[in-house]
Amino acid sequence: MAKKKKNAGYDWSYCSFGGVVRVNVRNGEDIAHLGELDKKLWTVLSCPTEGLEFPTETLKMIDADADGKIRVDEVIAAANWLCSVLKDKNLLIKGPDAVKLSDINTDIPAGAELHKSALQILSNLKLEKDEISVADTSDSVAIFADTKFNGDGVITAASAENAHLKDIIALIAEKAGSATDRSGVQGITAENIEAFYTALADYAAWQAAATADICPFGADTQAALDAVNALKDKVSDYFMRCKLIAFTEAAAPAVDVSAEKISAISDHDLSGEAEEIASYPLARPSKDGLLKFDAVNPAWKARVDAMKALTGLDGKEGIDEAEWNALVGKFAPFTAWKDAKKGDIVESLGIDEVKKLIAADDKAALLALVDQDKALEAEANSIDEVNKLTHLVRDFYKLLKNYVIFSDFYSPDKNEMSVFEAGKLYIDQRCCRLCVRVEDMGKHADMAGLSGMFLLYCACTSKTTGKKMDIVAVMTDGSTRNLHPGTNGVFYDRDGVDYDATIIRIVENPISIKQAFWSPYVKFWNWITGLVNKSAAEKDAKAIEGLQNEAAAAPADAAAKKQPFDIGKFAGIFAAVGMAIGLLGAAIAGIVAGIAKLPWWGILLLIVGIMLLISGPSCFIAWGKLRRRNLGPVLNANGWAINSNVIVNIPFGRTLTSVAKYPKLKLDDPYKPKAPLWWRILRWVLLAAVVAFCALFFTNNLKCIGLPLHKEKPAVEQVEEPAETADEAEVAEMPQE
């Protein structure tokens, strides 16, 4: 229940959610005074703009510095702006999708500009109504569809008056890049125009530098360079082979092509062995080092002939290494000129078209159109402000409920989900309502483990949409026995889209007092079964190993004599076992006898005391953790700055996880397993033992509850016995053997 408290300033109301007192924002007047609220009293100091179940465009409108965080000062700034441009601040509490034009405060310049821009939007959309909605302001393409200029600094073909400029705008968009206009059409900016005309000038200057010294073979210089480069490595290889022969003629057979290689392919179709033949030397090397053009490897003959024709070597018998190096050197200026090329983006136009465009000089006209468009920037931005107004009127109070109060999270009926709740996880006959998106499970779990809650990290994949997301689900009720990594469930997001969910990681913490009570017994049972299973596995392994060893034993071992049966040894064993059983039985009998002497209420106290001794510490620790469960670390791990505890206590925790409940019915099951005979006999034996114990107990303790064990018998008169006869006395005096 909200209560008011007088501060030095505005009178705030307070409420309690999750065991924590929080400031309550009830009306528009509270919103108008958010700037006076001490930052220490805010539940949240900042939250991310991404990953929330909240309109991202609205969050980005509040995020004034575009750093991806919504901070307190930005929330206050948005609240002050809204309260100044609206006549009725309580409109924010209602959160309508549309704002009536009469609700805009035109008494201030900002409000008057908003009113004017709202009318302009409705006019552009050809709508006649007295209100403007989120749908109206969100469709910027429709708003600016028929506008030549819209203040974004982008001009399109529609911005130009003549066909020539329209063609130039299209050409610049193709060569120098484009930008999307507010109307949704591709256009160009001042930067695109500058880049295009700079490229024209640079390319023309570069082409003008191509003198005869730079291009030794004229227009064929590039083709000649390509022909030389195609042979460069092969020619260098040839001259190196010649040098080796000049160094020692004994190397000639090794560096020349061998007859064996040619013989190996001589029976093939040699036209299909061009690749193999091309791997042979360019020509047969000799110590004179002359590359003779008429003795070139046939696989390279065509390329050598093309090089000769392009470089003026036709008619020459051959070329030596010095002449070849001189030929290659002629291309150095040309290569340097090519490396310095500028204006590549207009190269495809050709130098003639480039010169024509430079001469036309349409740059100034295009930049004038851009300036004309930018002149409407303030008006266009005001249209954006109308879009901001409609979004904030609809969403701002919802943000406050998840920023200042957290009332959506603590809503009793959970009809309103908080902005960080991603959906519901169904797993192991339970529905987890508190599921939060995560980006990095490992980093998130390190921080979220401090929450004291039982957390399931799941990887979710939608087969229908192909979307993937990772979530952490908070489990607050039920058993954890069947929950382990690899367990599958189904996750439904807030739009009802289903995802296959698989548990990847678990952070264990107590779920309930009931679970904590039985936890020691479960652990003890698991320990016992673990020992039994381990022992059984070891014995099974030893038995198999023994059988394998016996099967592999030598035949001589089969003839070995068996050890004689040692009755003394087994008698000793049986005696020891019997003694142990006797001692154990005596101890149990002593304990039972001691318990049987206690009154009935003493036995109950003893049982309760033993159970408290075993389960008490576990329950106490669990109770303390359950009272302090805090969602804050889970949100902090997602980039929030939580300024207050977000307690998930025991009563509230029960609302976050619902467990399947079936009606009590007596149904026939044809496959119900039947109890074995030994179990039925054992149950009757145990029942008989309990009945016997109860009979013994009540027999010895009825007086403790005020009831006599037997009825009192009436007193009997003592009768004097007759004197002994003489014969009887004589017999009595006879000595006894």
Residues 252-305: tens digit of each pLDDT = 888 888 878 888 887 788 878 888 888 889 888 988 889 988 889 888 999 998
Q: Is 118 exposed, middle or buried (0-12, 13-18, 19+ CB in 10 A)?
A: buried
pLDDT one-digit tens code per residue, 722-731: 555 445 544 4
pLDDT tens per residue across span 559-593? 454 555 455 554 555 565 566 566 655 655 666 56
d(C-alpha 570, C-alpha 567), whole Å: 5
Domain ranges of the chain: 28-145+388-405, 157-211+347-374, 218-259+274-330, 423-509+629-659
Structure confidence at residue 62 (pLDDT): 95
The amino acid present at 248, given as its one-letter code, is T
Residue 656's nearest CA partner among 430, 445, 459, 469 is: 430
Checking if the pLDDT of 48 tops 90, the result is: yes
Q: Which residues sit opposite 59 in a β-bridge?
A: none
What confidence score (pLDDT) does residue 354 get? 93
**The residue count for the chain:** 737
Greater confidence (596 vs 108) lies with 108
| Token pair belonging to 709 | 């064990």
The answer on pLDDT for 466 being more than 50 is yes
Closest CA to 375 of 648, 151, 590: 151
Q: What is the pLDDT of residues 180-202, one digit of tens each?
A: 988 888 999 999 999 999 999 99
Phi and psi at residue 477, to the nearest 5°? -160, 155
Q: Which residue in the block uniquely carries the two structure tokens 């227009």? A: 219
547 beta partners: none
Mean pLDDT of 640-648: 90
Residue 629, pLDDT > 90, answer no
